[in-house]
Amino acid sequence: MSFENSRALIVEGGAMRGIFSSGVLDAFMEEGYRPYDFAIGVSAGASNLVGYLAEAPGRSYQVITELATSRDFYNPSRFLKGGDLVDVEWLWQQSNARYPVDKSKLFSSIPLWTAVTNVETGKADYYRIDESNADSAMVATAALPIAFKSTPCFSGGCFTDGGVADSIPVKEAYRRGSRDITVILSHPLSYQKNPAKYPWLLKKLFASNPALANAMVARTETYNQSLAFIRNPPKDAVIRVIAPPDEFSVKRLTMNKAILNQGYELGLQAGKEHMMNRQGLHGLTDENCHFCV
């Protein structure tokens, strides 16, 4: 589906780092800020967008701080015994049971796509979330290889975490016709992804799926190419970035609620500042506010 000259919202994943984007999106909801024609989310970013598009403030914060910190979700002992390190299917099901959303709002809202990585091709596929595929696609986009043992299959394919093939789908938004793209990142703008330390091990672990193995090895390059696209967008596009500050201390598997709360507050602040910048209330320009206007 094409959205010529449209406005897109892209939300990166990053597991517990998604607490930042949950804060940004809660700030947006507080002001009824919804200037987008479509959205694409990856992993935790897609989950956070569900709360935003269903107009459920605080939902994503509760999912991350109450459910994702549970041993039912993250359990190293279970992993050592051959089970899941992170049970993303449990998390999705419990999120809907404990914090249900208004489906009529969600599915009639701004169109939401999520990125998944096709196990057979190693490339990203993008699915528009609707009532028929939400359970499968939302689990698939967060199904971290190795950490989640199951391989979600639906719509004729099998999939793993969308972040493997396309962590920040800015190029996909541009390909679909968007020329005004807002990206919520999970790392500070100064971040660059480092190459995999043991590419031979990745190829061995995923020997039965060589295309996926290649995608895992190429993940650093793919990720950094997306950052380069953000920093040097095509001349006919504007890309606005909301990113955590350098002091953001939340890691992929941070379980400390005090640190998560700090990350959430930083997101709230960044969301409010973004809206103020868009309204011209700060008087900021490209010269003194890189990417934020």
Specify if 179 maps to a domain.
Answer: yes
In a domain? residue 124? yes
In terms of residue numbers, what domain contains 227?
7-279
Q: Is residue 290 part of a domain?
A: no
Residue 46 lies in a domain: yes
Residue-wise DSSP of 88-124:
HHHHHHHHHHHS---HHHHHTSS-EEEEEEETTT-SE
The answer to whether residue 22 is catalytic is no
Question: Cβ of 199: how many Cβ atoms within 10 Å?
Answer: 15
**CATH code of the domain containing 143:** 3.40.1090.10
Q: At 231, which amino acid appears? A: R
**Rounded-to-integer distance, Cα 95 and Cα 215, Å:** 30
- Is residue 185 a part of any domain in this protein? yes
In a domain, 291, yes or no: no
Least confident of 19-28, 41-50, 214-223, 282-291: 282-291
pTM for the whole structure: 0.93
pLDDT at residue 291 tops 70: no
Q: Look at residue 1 and tell me if it is in a domain.
A: no
Mean pLDDT of 112-116: 97
Among 161, 178, 186, 226, the one annotated catalytic: 161
* pLDDT for res 5: 78
Provide the number of structural domains found in the chain: 1
Q: How confident is the model at residue 282 (pLDDT cuts 50, 70, 90)?
A: low
Give the CA distances from residue 77 to residues 70, 114, 285, in Å, rounded to whole numbers and listed in that order.
13, 30, 50
8-46 pLDDT tens trace: 999 999 999 999 999 999 999 999 999 999 999 999 999
Q: List the catalytic residue out of 22, 43, 47, 136.
A: 43
Q: CA 42, 44, 45, 50 torsion: positive or negative?
A: positive
CB 257: neighbour CB atoms within 10 A? 13
Measure the CA dihedral 173/56/136/14, to 10°.
60
Q: Is residue 161 among the annotated active site residues?
A: yes
Side chain identity at residue 53, one-letter code: L
The two tokens of residue 220 are: 């650093």
Q: Is residue 285 part of a domain?
A: no
